[in-house]
Chain A
Amino acid sequence: MEPRDCILELREVSKDFPGVRALDQVNIQFERATVHAVVGENGAGKSTLMKILMGLYREYTGDVILCGRPLAHRGVRQALDAGISMIHQELMYVPHMSVAENLLLGQEPASRFLRRVDRRATHRQTKQLLQQVGMDLDPNRRMNNLSVAERQMVEIAKAVSYDARIIIMDEPTSALSQREVQRLLALIAELRSRGVTVIYISHKLEEVFEIADTITVLRDGRVIATHAKNEIDANRLIALMVGRELADVFPKRTYEPGADMLTVRNLTRQGVFRNVSFSVRQGEILGLAGLMGAGRTEVIRCLFGLDTYDEGQILVEGQEISIRSPAQALKLGLGLVSEDRQITGLVPCLSLGANITLSHMNRCSWGPVIARRKEQALVKRMAAALAIKSSSSAQRVGNLSGGNQQKVVLAKALLGEPEILILDEPTRGIDIGTKAEIYKLICRLADEGKAIIMVSSELPEILGLSDRVVVLSNGTVAGQLPREQASAEAIMHYAMARGTATD
């Protein structure tokens, strides 16, 4: 490859964290005007690598060379000035500020002398940038009032706004629907034709094969291989990522449903969802499908007592109950793996072990006193069952990779041996190898007689696991499908039906 085609190069880059070697002598060359995908399992080092490029981690060995000149970051500002911008996997935004304020943070149009912010220009530029990514949002809306998908699109618009030569996208589609994903992929193709290099990190191999020109595989912090797209196929790629061949991802199951465990009747929350009714039985996996913003997470938050509902009934094992708090839901035998692990799932400063036992400390305590050895044994068992990779159970959970964190949230929910398990996007941001493990686990739980409600925006997941599918659209139940009738087209057809929660 000619030196002038190589826009960014990593030479022998290594990075250590306390207790773990995140990157081990990584060598990668990124070319101009290409989409270069970086794939790998949980904790393979992808996010770490990108944070180094972006100036978020300043301590590492090795060299980062931009257009032939070594790059010595002093911070994110330098990275931005050098022409590198990034969309983070864990969204970074200021929740109380508006869309416009977030999008143009650090590059607000301001008068030259007093640096007074020009509000009208800000508004105009924000609308333009949003339109570039196909979004039509009110720039004055507060970020924390948006849905996760909308926040992700704003983040994407922000990265594009820097007019960078290199845009790093870390799991950019994890919260997006099919429609929005296609929009993003089209945008990436357009950026490439403009000479931009896009570094694309994703677990979704269909997307990678659709958009990438070159694919690099990372495993355990090392580069395993770099191939052009046409030199490799999905199976070979998975084998390289995982280090072994993988059988079918979705396990086969025997579906023998038992009694009704949880029934929802005409559940309504003003302005959010209306007349939602469904039920889930023992030994059944109920998939909750729908577009972003359809109200699925809102419904299950009410089921778990995190939010209140205005009308309707919830019945557990035939008994009508009114769930007013998560503590009550837990006592009734419900368990929740929430959509946003950083907000509702984990306490980042506590250890891995402490997080796992947090919901059910009564299983490892004598009255008010913690029974350390019992706790250790429990944590060890759960961590082994879910294959959580970490140096010790005392490790701070905030230092784990995204996929491992998700496993911790799962372990926490399973510790209580719930009869009814609610999963909200259980494999978001997780690699294929771990996904397969989690699917196996979900099926095994269902075979053991648990009732499982699974919210997911990944159609392959819904289709592969659900015994029945309930499709929500705009806050109402648009349709219910048994497994035999569930297809991508049928689900999308219901998901895009008209009608609003305020009708």
Chain B
Amino acid sequence: MPERNIASHMDRALQKYGLLIAFAVICLILSLLSPAFLTAQNGINVLRQISINAILAIGVTVVILTGGIDLSLGSVVAVTGVLAATLAHPGAYPLIVPIAAGILGGVLIGAVNGLVITRFRVAPFIVTLGMMTIARGGALILSKGRPVSNLSDAFNFIGNGSVWGVPVPVLILAGVFLVSHFVLRQTTFGRYVYAVGGNEEAARASGIGTHKIKIACYSICAGLAGLAGIVQASRITTGQPNAGISYELDAIAAVVIGGTSLSGGLGGVAGTILGALIIGTLNNGLDLLNVSSYYQQVIKGLIIIGAVILDRKKASQ
């Protein structure tokens, strides 16, 4: 029966490419409404604007895939930004030092998260909620409550420079995306991440060190948050202890819109990037159309809910 085949083909295509189609539709509508939208410069703007959030979102995707969550992202951005900034004064240390310190600082925080979650069996929500406050406190202590300024040109280049017309944060994002996509899809570690999220007991019975995997995931997530913290501090050329407030919510929103399931085992970073793009494009388009940012927030929330509903429908097939 040919009609049935066409309908089921369309259905399957929608399931696989639904997000891409939604993104294309949004771009189409915005380009019709605003002539400034579909330009190369604007495209680069959008990418630059979403870079930090997208890096955070990719990091937390890894954690969400194991069935966990990380609410401390924003605070990690702040504390690693401050840490990097204090080591980035002109002539103090070679550039590699603040960068390494920022990322490793994040990794350490993530490892602590992971250890407490696995050894003491405390819910990730609670542990990372606590860490959110602890890291924020750490940022304030390190910076003595004041922004850390006077940073080297090399450091400031990270957040503000461009290479061949492409902003450095976008290049960093591209690198993070390619590496994480490869690791999740093509390595045994990635397979184990999905297994732990899909059924932790079965993963354990398969000989997988589930504790080790989880700790690694939280370390990667916070490490990437550390990277984001460096980019952020560089962008505003200041280590700001109050940076990153509610960044974790935007990151998780991108993950959810991108189709990764909050219960673990399903999804990936490709969807997350699309999710971040959709949010970013909408923000950008609505700005160009002079829509108030208050309305933008409402729209964003509606899209998140809509995305989850669609996701539920997909899952129940």
A residues apposed to B, CB below 8 Å = 16, 18, 304, 306, 325-327, 329-331, 336, 338, 343-350, 354, 358-359, 361-362, 365, 368-370, 372, 412
Interface residues of B in 186-215 (CB under 8 A from A): 186-192, 194-195, 197-199, 201-209
| Contact assessment for A349 and B266 in the assembled complex, using a CB-CB cutoff below 8 Å | yes
Task: Given A368-B187, A368-B189, verify A350-B205 contact (CB < 8 Å).
Answer: no
Report chain B residues within 8 Å CB of A368.
Answer: 187-189
A250 to B197, CA, bound (A): 40
Q: What's the least CB distance linking B256 to chain A, in Å?
A: 17
21 A-B residue pairs with Cβ-Cβ distance under 8 Å, sorted by A, are A325-B207, A327-B208, A329-B207, A343-B199, A343-B201, A343-B202, A344-B201, A345-B202, A346-B202, A347-B202, A349-B194, A350-B191, A350-B195, A354-B194, A358-B208, A361-B191, A369-B186, A369-B187, A370-B186, A370-B190, A412-B206
A359 to B266, CA, bound (A): 20
Report chain B residues within 8 Å CB of A343.
Answer: 199, 201-202
Interface: B229 (CB within 8 A): no
Report chain B residues within 8 Å CB of A338.
Answer: 205
B residues apposed to A, CB below 8 Å = 8, 12, 186-192, 194-195, 197-199, 201-209, 265-266, 317
Report chain A residues within 8 Å CB of B12.
Answer: 18
* Chain A residue at smallest Cβ distance from B264: A349
| Contact assessment for A350 and B317 in the assembled complex, using a CB-CB cutoff below 8 Å | no
| Contact assessment for A349 and B198 in the assembled complex, using a CB-CB cutoff below 8 Å | yes
Report chain B residues within 8 Å CB of A350.
Answer: 191, 194-195, 198, 265
| Contact assessment for B201 and A358 in the assembled complex, using a CB-CB cutoff below 8 Å | no
A345 to B190, CA, bound (A): 19
| Contact assessment for A326 and B205 in the assembled complex, using a CB-CB cutoff below 8 Å | yes
| Contact assessment for A358 and B198 in the assembled complex, using a CB-CB cutoff below 8 Å | no
Report chain B residues within 8 Å CB of A329.
Answer: 207
Q: What's the least CB distance linking A458 to chain B, in Å?
A: 23
Which of B188, B191, B202 lies at the interface centre, i.e. has the most chain A CB atoms within 10 A of its CB?
B202
Q: What's the least CB distance linking B183 to chain A, in Å?
A: 8
Q: What's the least CB distance linking A3 to chain B, in Å?
A: 32
A344 to B191, CA, bound (A): 17
Q: What's the least CB distance linking B75 to chain A, in Å?
A: 31
A361 to B209, CA, bound (A): 13
Report chain B residues within 8 Å CB of A344.
Answer: 201-202, 205
Report chain A residues within 8 Å CB of B206.
Answer: 326, 358-359, 412
Report which of A16, A325, A336, A347 forms a contact with B203, defined as CB distance below 8 A. Answer: A347
Q: What's the least CB distance linking A367 to chain B, in Å?
A: 9
Report chain A residues within 8 Å CB of B194.
Answer: 347, 349-350, 354
* Chain B residue at smallest Cβ distance from A361: B188
Report chain B residues within 8 Å CB of A18.
Answer: 8, 12, 317
Q: What's the least CB distance linking A19 to chain B, in Å?
A: 10
Which of A16, A326, A345 lies at the interface centre, i.e. has the most chain B CB atoms within 10 A of its CB?
A326
Q: What's the least CB distance linking A490 to chain B, in Å?
A: 33
The 10 closest A-B pairs by CB, nearest first: A347-B198, A327-B207, A349-B265, A349-B198, A330-B207, A359-B206, A361-B188, A347-B199, A344-B205, A358-B206
* Chain B residue at smallest Cβ distance from A343: B201
Task: Given A365-B188, A370-B191, verify A327-B198 contact (CB < 8 Å).
Answer: no
| Contact assessment for A306 and B186 in the assembled complex, using a CB-CB cutoff below 8 Å | no
Which of A16, A327, A349 lies at the interface centre, i.e. has the most chain B CB atoms within 10 A of its CB?
A349
Report chain A residues within 8 Å CB of B317.
Answer: 18
* Chain A residue at smallest Cβ distance from B15: A18
Report chain A residues within 8 Å CB of B198.
Answer: 347-350
Report chain A residues within 8 Å CB of B199.
Answer: 343, 346-349
Report chain B residues within 8 Å CB of A325.
Answer: 207, 209
* Chain A residue at smallest Cβ distance from B11: A18
| Contact assessment for B265 and A347 in the assembled complex, using a CB-CB cutoff below 8 Å | yes
Report which of A327, A347, A348, A359 forms a contact with B209, defined as CB distance below 8 A. Answer: A327
Report chain A residues within 8 Å CB of B186.
Answer: 369-370, 372
Report chain B residues within 8 Å CB of A331.
Answer: 207
A18 to B314, CA, bound (A): 12
* Chain B residue at smallest Cβ distance from A329: B207
Q: What's the least CB distance linking A351 to chain B, in Å?
A: 10
A369 to B266, CA, bound (A): 20
Report chain A residues within 8 Å CB of B188.
Answer: 361-362, 365, 368-370
Q: What's the least CB distance linking B306 to chain A, in Å?
A: 22
A138 to B190, CA, bound (A): 44
A362 to B187, CA, bound (A): 11
Report chain B residues within 8 Å CB of A362.
Answer: 188
Q: What's the least CB distance linking A97 to chain B, in Å?
A: 20
Report chain B residues within 8 Å CB of A358.
Answer: 191, 195, 203, 206, 208
Q: What's the least CB distance linking A368 to chain B, in Å?
A: 5
Report chain A residues within 8 Å CB of B8.
Answer: 16, 18
A350 to B267, CA, bound (A): 11
A347 to B205, CA, bound (A): 11
| Contact assessment for B202 and A326 in the assembled complex, using a CB-CB cutoff below 8 Å | no
Q: Kindly list 15 other residue pairs between chains A and B, CB separation below 8 angstroms, not including A343-B202, A370-B186.
A: A18-B8, A18-B12, A325-B209, A329-B207, A338-B205, A344-B205, A345-B202, A347-B194, A347-B198, A347-B202, A349-B266, A361-B188, A368-B189, A370-B190, A372-B186
Report chain A residues within 8 Å CB of B204.
Answer: 306, 326
Report chain A residues within 8 Å CB of B201.
Answer: 343-344
| Contact assessment for B207 and A359 in the assembled complex, using a CB-CB cutoff below 8 Å | yes
* Chain A residue at smallest Cβ distance from B203: A347
Report chain A residues within 8 Å CB of B191.
Answer: 350, 354, 358, 361, 370
A192 to B206, CA, bound (A): 45
| Contact assessment for A326 and B187 in the assembled complex, using a CB-CB cutoff below 8 Å | no
A354 to B208, CA, bound (A): 14
A365 to B187, CA, bound (A): 8
* Chain B residue at smallest Cβ distance from A364: B188
